[in-house]
Amino acid sequence: MNDATQIKPLFPISVKFEDGSIDTFESVESLETDLEVFDSEKAPGCEVTDALGRPVRLRVNDHLILEELALVDPS
Q: What are the structural domain ranges in the chain?
A: 12-71
pLDDT at residue 10 in the model: 97
pLDDT at 40: 95
Q: Residue 4: what pLDDT?
A: 52
The residues, ordered by sequence, that sit 6+ positions from 32 with a Cβ below 8 Å of its Cβ are 60, 64, 65, 66
Question: For residue 36, what pLDDT is reported?
Answer: 85
pTM, rounded to two decimals: 0.86
pLDDT of residue 44: 85
Separation between Cα atoms, residue 42 and residue 3, nearest integer Å:
29
Walking along the chain (75 residues) 10 residues at a time, the average pLDDT comes out as 70 96 96 93 94 97 95 81
**CB neighbour list of residue 19: distance below 8 Å, 6 or more residues apart:** none
